[in-house]
A and B are shown apart, each in its own frame.
Chain A
Amino acid sequence: MAVTLTENAARHVQRSLDKRGRGAGLRLGVRTSGCSGMAYVLEYADQVAPEDCVFESHGIKVLVDPKSLVYLDGTILDYTREGLNEGFRFQNPNQKETCGCGESFTV
């Protein structure tokens, strides 16, 4: 069971955390909603909850709650640029299809 960041994503997260000035790490998760059933959560984490699974990837602490981990196991979080747009992308092997806009997915 693991969730990892690419080197590029880790660098970007580290920079964002430094600028923000605080934060225990990065929280990844899923929640139900959206047209295809589930949506990704990508947040700064200020506290580690007791039930959280903690992964270390390129020096970044990644927190995932156990319920989300079922859907996220094996996920690689990447940071990419598409034209003028740049941001994080979930490469999730559990994901079967996404809705047209890609903001939600099914497993």
Chain B
Amino acid sequence: MALLQISEPGQSPAPHARKFVAGIDLGTTNSLIATVRDGEVAVLADAAGEVLLPSVVRFHDDTRVTVGREAQDAEIADPLNTIASVKRLMGRGRADISESPYRLAADTQGMVRIETVAGGKTPVEVSAHVLAALKARLEETLGGPLSGAVITVPAYFDEAQRQATKDAARLAGIEVLRLLNEPTAAAVAYGLDRNPEGLYCIYDLGGGTFDVSLLRLSQGVFEVLATGGDAALGGDDMDAAVVALWMARGARAGTPEEQRRLLRLARSARERLTVETETTIDVEPIYSGRLTRADLDAAIDPLIERTLAACRRVLKDAGVKIADVGAVVLVGGATRTPRVRERVGTLFRKTPLHDIDPDRVVAVGAARQADLLAGNAGAADMLLLDVIPLSLGIEIMGGLSEKIIPRNSPIPASRAQEFTTYKDGQGALAIHVVQGERDLVSDCRSLARFELRGIPPMVAGAARIRVTFQVDADGLLNVSAREMISGVESAVTVKPSFGLSDTEIERMLKESIASAEADAASRALRELQVEADRMMEAVGAALAADPDLLAAGEREVIARHLAALKTARDGADGPRIREAITALDHASAAFAARRMDAGLERAMKGRSVTEFG
């Protein structure tokens, strides 16, 4: 019979309704899965007691697939079919990747594929194998099916990379409760989300990558203020620095195998030096000698300095002073090195948080979040909120979309922007709310239309209309428009994700990436057309207002250029519209100058010169 766990009072699950949810840290080098049992986060180990699953997948010619340690052991023997660090390829097109140890090809959509003995494999498929291995571990451990998971992604992942991660989960048969930013998960693991607000710095030094993120917590939302780092800096580089030191001291490692052996020794020496102050290495005839904590510190200091420089840059980008940072969280195995802790502590002038195993802290935070989302935890815990999947904006002149809230903004969100009128005496403004990444409104999704009426008569450009977008915690969008001078107001409420399925969002995003250039060209054309319209409108109004200021034959010349511009504007030839605008501008310049003089004369009539002094 099933084994039971202790529940919170009144929350015993009904039989067969027991839901196992998990947090998954899908890492570049290693992946982990954690779950909440008896109110405690447990990071699950495999049968051998190993918690870290190397994110390595090997494809065999007989359709067998091995994942983890076993695959990793085959990396040297079977390099082309053993895929490691696939996270770097997620959501990437073939064109985005310059070099790779694997045979890469592009599929029909331009997404990258890895050629293996078992055929072409996408990064999504490779990641799915890693996720499936973790899912199997959880189901074996808990004795029931995994019903959902929170999966962590780097804060800098774009929508395509996030979508690829979701696709991998779907392929592995895992329902994604939410994707969570890795630094946010680390902050959650330390319970920083229970604070009312604050600024936190997450320092993540892994095996091969360094990421630093600055988070701001306010009203239960972690906002990523800035990220930085180095995609090729980590514990591996520290090992290399130690080996370089040994080589300088006379180590002789000629073959690649000897090099690898020294690197492994460097790693274990580094690990020993986290507790000891001195260690000896004896692998005659390659090398034998002593390594002190001071030696190690001197060897890795230049690397640590690079990470600290990245931290300072991130703080500068966000305009934040070191004293404003409330806490620093250490993530990643390389942060066990005492020197790293010490120097990070010196930079931020406070002891960094490091009580939770830095390899596990992200998975621990993800598991807590999963537990919350599944409704297992008490109501006292705040839920981290979602982000807006696609940008929200309004239609502006020329059928262009002006983005007001960019995608990936955490909700609730509120942004405002000011617009103005286009025509003299314009009494109303039609507001068309759209969602999407494309530049043309016709390529975006229309969400709502409403009108702001009762704008007092003013010349074009004088009215100040503030359009405010507010998305509340339930994802409801409220758009309001207010003319600031007269105070007239109008508003509409829509649900932005209404009717937009995941696949639709994905399609819209892919289109926006694929058609970025075409969009830029049509945006430029539309802008020229709008400029032409404005020009024709202004010249037409001037002709009607001051016909007596026209010189003989001038009206005909201007009219001819007006007609030419009208024809050009209705075509799609940008340079021709630009030419016609310039021509009309030249033809009407003298007339415009006379109008300005006349206007000035009218204004000055009857006043003495001193009044203008």
What is the interface of chain A, defined by CB distance below 8 A to chain B?
13, 16, 19-20, 26-27, 31, 33-35, 39-46, 80, 82-90, 98-99, 101-104
Q: Are A85 and B15 in contact (CB under 8 A)?
A: no
Q: Are A103 and B5 in contact (CB under 8 A)?
A: no
A27 to nearest B CB, angstroms? Answer: 7
* Residues of chain B in range 216-259 having any CB-CB distance to chain A below 8 Å: none
Scoring B38, B141, B142 by chain A CB atoms within 10 A of each residue's CB, the highest score goes to B38
A34 to nearest B CB, angstroms? Answer: 4
A55 to nearest B CB, angstroms? Answer: 16
Q: Does B323 contact A (CB under 8 A)?
A: no
In angstroms, Cα B348 to Cα A8, docked, is: 46
Cβ-neighbour of B4 out of A16, A35, A87 (below 8 A): A87
Q: Are A101 and B9 in contact (CB under 8 A)?
A: no
Q: Are B140 and A33 in contact (CB under 8 A)?
A: no
Q: Are B2 and A102 in contact (CB under 8 A)?
A: yes
Q: Does B1 contact A (CB under 8 A)?
A: yes
In angstroms, Cα B9 to Cα A41, docked, is: 10
Q: Are A16 and B38 in contact (CB under 8 A)?
A: yes
| Residues from chain A with Cβ under 8 Å of B14 in the complex | 33-34, 39
Q: Are B3 and A87 in contact (CB under 8 A)?
A: yes
Scoring B12, B44, B137, B141 by chain A CB atoms within 10 A of each residue's CB, the highest score goes to B12
In angstroms, Cα B9 to Cα A45, docked, is: 6
| Residues from chain A with Cβ under 8 Å of B44 in the complex | 84
In angstroms, Cα B6 to Cα A54, docked, is: 18
In angstroms, Cα B4 to Cα A13, docked, is: 12
| CB-CB under 8 A for A40 and B16, given A83-B140, A85-B143 | no
In angstroms, Cα B14 to Cα A41, docked, is: 9
Q: Does B282 contact A (CB under 8 A)?
A: no
Q: Are B3 and A19 in contact (CB under 8 A)?
A: no
Q: Are A42 and B12 in contact (CB under 8 A)?
A: yes
Cβ-neighbour of A104 out of B8, B15, B140 (below 8 A): B15
Q: Does B88 contact A (CB under 8 A)?
A: no
Q: Does B279 contact A (CB under 8 A)?
A: no
Cβ-neighbour of A43 out of B8, B40, B141 (below 8 A): B8
In angstroms, Cα B143 to Cα A86, docked, is: 9
| CB-CB under 8 A for A103 and B15, given A16-B38, A27-B9, A82-B3 | yes
Q: Does B560 contact A (CB under 8 A)?
A: no
Q: Does B47 contact A (CB under 8 A)?
A: yes
B355 to nearest A CB, angstroms? Answer: 15
Q: Are A44 and B4 in contact (CB under 8 A)?
A: no
B570 to nearest A CB, angstroms? Answer: 71
Interface residues on B, range: 20 to 34
Pairs A–B under 8 Å by Cβ, sample size 7: A19-B39, A42-B4, A42-B5, A43-B8, A43-B9, A83-B140, A84-B137
| Residues from chain A with Cβ under 8 Å of B45 in the complex | 84
Q: Does B11 contact A (CB under 8 A)?
A: yes
In angstroms, Cα B4 to Cα A16, docked, is: 14
Chain A interface mostly: strand
In angstroms, Cα B2 to Cα A93, docked, is: 17
Closest chain B residue, CB of each to CB of A84: B141
In angstroms, Cα B230 to Cα A72, docked, is: 60
| CB-CB under 8 A for A43 and B6, given A19-B39, A84-B44 | yes
| Residues from chain A with Cβ under 8 Å of B534 in the complex | none
Q: Are A89 and B3 in contact (CB under 8 A)?
A: yes
* Residues of chain B in range 109-139 having any CB-CB distance to chain A below 8 Å: 137
In angstroms, Cα B8 to Cα A92, docked, is: 22
Cβ-neighbour of A34 out of B15, B39, B40, B47 (below 8 A): B15
In angstroms, Cα B38 to Cα A43, docked, is: 9
In angstroms, Cα B2 to Cα A99, docked, is: 10
Known: A45-B9, A82-B143, A83-B47; 20 extra A-B contacts, CB below 8 A, are A34-B14, A35-B15, A35-B16, A40-B4, A40-B12, A41-B12, A42-B5, A42-B12, A43-B10, A80-B3, A82-B3, A84-B44, A84-B46, A84-B140, A85-B140, A101-B1, A101-B15, A102-B2, A103-B1, A104-B16
Q: Are A88 and B4 in contact (CB under 8 A)?
A: yes
In angstroms, Cα B9 to Cα A20, docked, is: 12
| Residues from chain A with Cβ under 8 Å of B143 in the complex | 82, 85, 87
Closest chain A residue, CB of each to CB of B40: A19
| CB-CB under 8 A for A86 and B6, given A16-B38, A101-B16, A103-B16 | no
10 closest cross-chain pairs (CB), A and B:
A102-B1, A87-B3, A103-B15, A34-B15, A84-B141, A104-B15, A39-B15, A41-B12, A85-B143, A102-B2
In angstroms, Cα B16 to Cα A27, docked, is: 21
* Residues of chain B in range 491-507 having any CB-CB distance to chain A below 8 Å: none
Scoring A84, A85, A101, A102 by chain B CB atoms within 10 A of each residue's CB, the highest score goes to A84
Q: Does B486 contact A (CB under 8 A)?
A: no
Closest chain A residue, CB of each to CB of B45: A84
| CB-CB under 8 A for A88 and B6, given A16-B38, A16-B39, A20-B39 | yes
Q: Are A44 and B1 in contact (CB under 8 A)?
A: no
Closest chain A residue, CB of each to CB of B141: A84
Cβ-neighbour of B6 out of A26, A34, A46, A101 (below 8 A): A26
| Residues from chain B with Cβ under 8 Å of A90 in the complex | 1, 4
In angstroms, Cα B385 to Cα A34, docked, is: 34
| CB-CB under 8 A for A33 and B9, given A85-B143, A98-B1, A103-B2 | no
B544 to nearest A CB, angstroms? Answer: 81
Mask for B2-36, Cβ within 8 A of A = 1, else 0?
11111111111011101000000000000000000
| CB-CB under 8 A for A44 and B18, given A16-B40, A82-B143, A84-B141 | no
In angstroms, Cα B5 to Cα A3, docked, is: 18
* Residues of chain B in range 37-78 having any CB-CB distance to chain A below 8 Å: 38-40, 44-47
Q: Are B140 and A13 in contact (CB under 8 A)?
A: no
B423 to nearest A CB, angstroms? Answer: 68
Closest chain B residue, CB of each to CB of A99: B15
| Residues from chain B with Cβ under 8 Å of A26 in the complex | 6
| Residues from chain A with Cβ under 8 Å of B16 in the complex | 34-35, 101, 103-104
| Residues from chain B with Cβ under 8 Å of A102 in the complex | 1-2
In angstroms, Cα B8 to Cα A41, docked, is: 10
In angstroms, Cα B47 to Cα A13, docked, is: 24
